[in-house]
Amino acid sequence: MPARFATVDDFLDALTAERRAEVESLRALVLEAEPELIEILKWNSPDYTLRGIDRLTINAPGKGPVRLILHFGADRPENKDEAPAFGGDPSGLLTWHSNIWASLTLPQPDDLTTTGDAIIAVVRAWLAEE
Residue 2 lies in a domain: no
Residue 1 lies in a domain: no
Domain with 81, as residue range(s), is 8-128
User: Where residue 44 falls among pLDDT bands split at 50, 70, 90?
Assistant: confident
Domains identified in the chain, total number: 1
Q: What is the structure's pLDDT at 9?
A: 93
Q: In this predicted model, what pLDDT tens digit does every residue of 83-119 receive, in sequence order?
A: 888 999 999 999 999 999 999 999 887 788 889 999 9
Integer angstrom CA distances of residue 18 from 8, 51, 112: 17, 32, 15
DSSP secondary structure letters along 23-57: HHHHHHHHHHH-TT-EEEEETTEEEEEETTEEEEE
CATH number at residue 31: 3.90.1150.200
Residue 23 lies in a domain: yes
Q: What is the structure's pLDDT at 75?
A: 81
Q: Please report, as a single letter, which amino acid is at residue 53.
A: I
CB 50 within 8 A of CB 128: no
Residue 71 lies in a domain: yes
Q: Is the pTM of this model over 0.75?
A: yes
Rounded to whole angstroms, the Cα distance separating 110 from 73 reads 32
Q: Which of 84, 54, 93, 85 is nearest to 71 (CA)?
A: 54
Residue 22 lies in a domain: yes
